Amino acid sequence: MGLLTNPTSRATIVGSITRHNNKICFLCYVVGLSWFLALAYQELNAGTYFSENALLPGLVRSQFYGDSEAEGYYSQLKSELNKDKNIMPVKWIYNQFMDLGLDVYIHNFTFRYPLKIFGEKQIPGQNVYAIMRASRAASTEALVLTVPFRTVTTVMDKTHGGLALMLTMANHFRKSSYWAKDIIFVVTEHEYIGMQAWLDAYHETKSELISSNSLEGHGGSIQAAINLEVPTNKISSFDFRLEGLNGQLPNLDLFNLVVRISRQEGFDVLLKEQHDPYHPETFEGYLQNLKTMFLMMWTQAPGSANNNHGVFLKYNIEALTLVGKKEKGKHAQGYGPMGRTVEGIFRSLNNLLERFHQSFFFYLLPSTSRYVSIGLYMPPFAIMVAGSLIKAVAMWISCTETVEEGVSTEKEKKETDQANGESVQKNEVKDHKEEKEEERKGLLSVIPILFITQLFGLLAYFSPDFFVDLGMPLHLHVAEAVHYGMLALFLSSLAMPRFLKRSLSEKSRPDWKLLKCVSLIVQGLVLFSIALMNISLAFFLAAVMVPVCVAMWPSNNRVVQILHASFLLLISPFLLLYITVVANQMMTEKVADVASLLVQSWDHMKTPLILGMVESQLLGSWTYCVICLGIFPNWLAFWCLIWIGS
């Protein structure tokens, strides 16, 4: 504290930061990025453990031996689906639950896609749900087992095996008397939209685009949910899906529970279809852990719901998805081990005395047995972003020094004028006016730029409906209209600084140092705010934006100016989305050549763009809003800096 309170020491520290700010910023970025990537190494993260002792995983003797019954359900379901491959067999599912003696209901709902994707058409849907009442307690708490129904003709993985398993588990659970919580079995139509409609009705909330009937039957307050996506009657492993809406994750204890029970029943456990390394302490093991952690962050960053479990998390209900996989060369197991896995999970959840709260809600997973908590990943992230704030401080000090030098010069001139016998009063009035003018320029010169950049962000957020209406007379599909409309808006934002520069006089142009200072501070605040909820999105944005934005300055050298503009274009939201699609295509599909990869990626770019807008209005996703109102205006301020400030 003495160093900070001593004026001489403080001046020395400030002077050192100002002189060496570029080196400090570079060092912070490299150290923060390297430290963050090193967290995948086993010695720098922690092993998973149970914080909630009441779960008591695997301590009970399994009683499920309904293999043949599940096979029977699976055969009946396949026969039923052959009658009509494009329709959910609502009546058949309803009758199966009724035969088990459960409280069964059909939930009808309709929804309308935003942006007039199907015009004003209301798309109907039906969910079937059954409630098994707790036999040892009042219906104050509940657990949910869900299966999204997928038709035979869908391109997605089927879930027929999971539906047969659900019916079998419902029959098995009702025979036991130890249940202290209601168990609700839900079969949804239209993936997570049907799940959202059911949850809205369950919690009696309203949605502008989803309208549903009130539920005839209710259970208790939902404590946890498991979503089953099992394609066939035999699988070799379970792959776990955790990421939910806006990057939310379930409590780590729930993940540890399903991993422990799945391993106990002999299944291989996967995370992002990746196996845990056999030798995690080796360099190969570190690379495998890094790949797994990267894939998890890659899925979490967009903030999409992904599966049925994703919409539970926004209601403070811990949920995840179990995806059955049948790997080549691996021993496949039938419904017996699958049923015992589900039974073990639900019997452990039945032991809960309160909601999940003791373990972590913010974490990253390099493997199924290791985790990186928020206390481990925030320090390197903070150091990586600290370069923006250090550079902003240096810019501010530079601005104040310039003002002080100007004041000193005016004083010297004033003393000289006095010595020459000139009018002191006139000079004082003149000095006062010039001082006010400089102050006004410093404080107010950047406000028009910030206002215009924020205006472009608002246009990007509210204009998709306008682009759709504009594309209708031209017979453009909704995706094409939005895509080309956003491209036109982006190109107009690129041209904006040139027109603005021509309209501003030399004296009215903004102080570029002050503009950069404010923009860097805003960037740091936005990135830290995103990191509190979705560390993956914040990390990827910081990794590409921080070094480029810190290094930007207006230059009269044409080559340097074009170089800066090229780097800024690469980190623009529009091109970042395109680069992300290219990278995703490379990871998921085999492409013959680079040209076809670029063309396909440009065409596929419409999908995440539309999906972000749809989930923003339909499910309440924040990603599109954050990009339009936070990232895009901030990037545009740096784009103005290199053109107007030169």
- Which sequence spans correspond to the domains of the chain? 20-40+378-404+445-645, 66-285+304-347
What percentage of residues in the chain have a pLDDT greater than 90? 63
Alpha helices for 420-446 (secondary structure H): 424-444
| Mean pLDDT across the chain | 88
In sequence order, which residues have a C-beta less than 8 Å from that of residue 92 and are 6 or more positions away?
76, 77, 80
Q: Residue 208: its pLDDT value, please?
A: 87
d(CA 377, CA 350) in angstroms, rounded, equals: 33
- The pLDDT score that the predictor gives to residue 4 is 54
| CA 407/CA 496 separation, integer angstroms | 35
> Residue 267 burial by CB count (10 A; 0-12/13-18/19+): exposed, middle or buried?
buried
Q: Which two tokens stand for residue 479?
A: 């995706």
CATH placement of domain 66-285+304-347: 3.40.630.10
Residues 6-17, mean pLDDT to the nearest whole number: 68
Mean predicted confidence (pLDDT) in 101-111: 94
Predicted pLDDT at 444: 75
pLDDT category, 1, cuts 50, 70, 90?
very low
Q: Report the pLDDT value the prediction gives residue 443, as an integer from 0 to 100.
A: 64
| Higher local confidence (pLDDT), 403 or 289 | 289
Structure tokens at 33: 């990025």
Nearest CA to 526 among 392, 418, 632?
A: 632
Q: What is the mean pLDDT of residues 153-162?
A: 89
525 confidence band (pLDDT: 50, 70, 90)? very high
Give the residue-averaged pLDDT of 233-245.
94
**What is the tens place of the pLDDT at every residue in 331-366?**
899 999 999 999 999 999 999 988 898 899 999 999
What tens digit of pLDDT does each residue of 397-441 get? 877 665 444 444 444 555 555 545 444 444 444 444 444 454 445
Give me the percent of the chain exceeding a pLDDT of 70: 90
Encoded tokens for 375:
């206390």
Short-list 18, 334, 64, 59, CA closest to 175: 64
The model's pLDDT over 591-620, given as tens digits with 9 standing for 90+, comes to 778 888 888 889 899 999 999 999 999 998
Q: Is pLDDT above 90 for 105?
A: yes
Tell me what the mean pLDDT of segment 294-304 comes to: 94
**In this structure, what DSSP letter does residue 143 have?**
E
- Reported as a pLDDT band with limits 50, 70 and 90, residue 329 is confident
Residue 424: alpha-carbon gap to chain centroid: 64
pTM: 0.91
